[in-house]
Amino acid sequence: MNNSILNKPYKYGFKTDIDSYNISGGLNINTLLKIINELEEPNFIKKFRLEALNKLKFLRQPDWCFFEVPDINYDKISYYSKPINLTDKDVLSKIDQTFEKLGISKEQQENLSNTAIDLVFDSVSISNIIEPFLSKSGIIFIPLFKAIQKYPYLVKKYLGTVVPSNDNFFAALNSAVFSEGSFCYIPKNIKCNFDLSTYFRTNLENFAQFERTLLIAGENTKLTYLEGCTAPMYSESQLHVAIVEIVAKYNSFVKYATIQNWYRGNKLGEGGLYNLTTKRGICFDFAKLEWTQIEVGSSITWKYPSTILKGNNSSSEFYSISLLSGVQEADTGSKMTHIGKNTKSKIVSKTISLNSSLNIYRGLVDIKPSAYKSFNQTECDSLLIGSNALTGTFPYTKVSNSTAIIRQEASISKLDEEFLFLFMQRGIDLKTAVTLLIYGFCYNICEKLPLEFGVEIPLLISLRTEEALG
Q: For the segment 7-47, what is each residue's pLDDT rounded down to a tens digit?
A: 345 566 667 777 788 898 899 999 999 999 999 999 999 99
User: What single DSSP character describes residue 280?
Assistant: E
Q: CB–CB of 138/266 below 8 Å? A: no
Nearest to residue 350, comparing CAs of 292, 275, 427, 430? 292
**Whole-number Cα distances in Å, 339 to 248, 343, 367, 374:** 15, 8, 7, 9
Report the range of poorest mean pLDDT among 47-51, 110-114, 164-168, 315-319.
Answer: 110-114
Q: Rounded mean pLDDT of 374-381?
A: 96
Residues belonging to the chain: 470
pLDDT grade for 385, boundaries at 50, 70 and 90 = confident
- Rounded to whole angstroms, the Cα distance separating 427 from 424 reads 5
Q: Give dist(CA 283, CA 307) in Å, integer.
A: 7
DSSP type of residue 311: S
Q: Shortest CA distance to 96 belongs to which of 60, 131, 135, 129?
A: 129
The rounded radius of gyration (Å) of the Cα atoms in the chain is 22
If we measure between CA atoms, which residue out of 93, 117, 94 comes closest to residue 203? 94
Which of 146-150, 166-170, 307-311, 417-421 has the weakest average pLDDT?
Answer: 417-421
Question: Exposed, middle or buried by CB within 10 Å (0-12, 13-18, 19+), for 408?
Answer: middle
> Beta 329-332 vs 300-303: how paired, if at all?
parallel
Q: What is the pLDDT of residue 8?
A: 47
From CA 31, how far away is CA 346, in angstroms rounded? 42
Question: Residue 461 pLDDT more than 80?
Answer: no
Question: How far apart are alpha carbons 228 and 256 in whole angstroms?
Answer: 11
Q: For residue 436, what pLDDT band results from cuts at 50, 70 and 90?
A: confident
Per-residue pLDDT band at 234 (split at 50, 70, 90)? low
pLDDT at 470 over 60: no
β-partners of residue 184 are: 141, 215
Contact call for residues 211 and 276 (beta carbons, < 8 A): no
Bridge partners, residue 309, by sequence? 283, 338
Global pTM?
Answer: 0.91
More confident residue, 156 or 433: 156
Helix/strand/coil for 32: helix
274 and 240 Cβ atoms separated by less than 8 Å: yes
What burial class does residue 243 get, using C-beta atoms within 10 Å of its C-beta: 0-12 exposed, 13-18 middle, 19+ buried? buried
Q: What is the predicted pLDDT for the residue at 364?
A: 96
Confidence (pLDDT) at 235: 61
Distance CA 330, CA 65 (A): 9
173, pLDDT greater than 50: yes
Note whether 295 and 332 are within 8 A (CB): yes
Number of Cβ within 10 Å of residue 411's Cβ equals: 10
CA distance 50 to 61: 19
Beta-carbon count within 10 A of 358 CB: 19
pLDDT score for 6 = 31
Task: Indicate the pairing of strand 315-324 with strand 288-295.
Answer: parallel
Nearest to 55 by CA among 176, 207, 185: 176
pLDDT, tens only, 42-72: 999 999 999 999 999 999 888 777 777 778 8
Residue 331 has φ and ψ, to the nearest 5°, of -125, 95
The one-letter amino acid code at 374 reads: S
Q: What is the mean pLDDT of residues 239-255?
A: 96
Q: Taking the CB of residue 87, how many other CB atoms lie within 10 A of it?
A: 7
SS3 69: coil
468 pLDDT higher than 80: no
Does residue 377 register a pLDDT over 70? yes
Crossing angle of the two packed helices 169-177 and 43-56, in degrees rounded to 10: 150
| DSSP 8-state secondary structure symbol assigned to residue 4 | P
What are the C-alpha distances in Å from 293 to residues 226, 227, 321, 339, 383? Answer: 10, 9, 6, 25, 17
Kindly list the strands in the beta sheet with 344-354, ordered across the sheet, starting from the edge strand earlier in the chain: 124-128, 115-121, 191-201, 222-230, 253-260, 288-295, 315-324, 344-354, 375-385, 405-414
